[in-house]
Amino acid sequence: MTIIGIPLSVVALLLWLPALYIAQILTAMVLGQAILVRFREDKATSAVIAMLIGVPILWLIYALPFLGFLAGFAACVIGLGIMWHYLKSHYNNK
């Protein structure tokens, strides 16, 4: 059992850690897009501009003593949900 379990857990960990960081970036992009749509009249948003707005805002929220941990956890959960939704819709359309 450990011959299969240990390498499998190492591979799962190596996939999980980048997914957590990507999830936070996706959440920052969604936050940035929400802010851009709210304050722009043309409603056309760029992913790069949305990320440039969302990432510093999330960094400021992460810097708060108690709320930073909760915001980081929420950002990971929301971002993983975004990834799951994208993968699910991508493979259902095939």
pLDDT tens figures, 35-61: 988 887 776 778 888 899 999 999 999
Structural domain includes residue 16: no
Query: Is there a contact between 49 and 36 (Cβ–Cβ < 8 Å)?
Result: yes
Structural domain includes residue 46: yes
Q: According to the model, what pLDDT value does residue 10 have?
A: 93
User: How many structural domains are present in the chain?
Assistant: 1
Place of tokens 């810097």: 63
The whole domain housing 56 covers 26-89
How far is the C-alpha of 59 from the C-alpha of 17, rounded, in Å? Answer: 19
How far is the C-alpha of 21 from the C-alpha of 15, rounded, in Å? Answer: 11
Share of residues in the chain with pLDDT > 90 (%): 67
Q: According to the model, what pLDDT value does residue 42 have?
A: 75
pLDDT higher than threshold 80 for residue 27: yes
Structural domain includes residue 37: yes
**Selection from 58, 67, 53 nearest residue 23 by Cα:** 58
pLDDT higher than threshold 80 for residue 79: yes
Q: Model's pTM, two decimal places? A: 0.80
Structural domain includes residue 52: yes
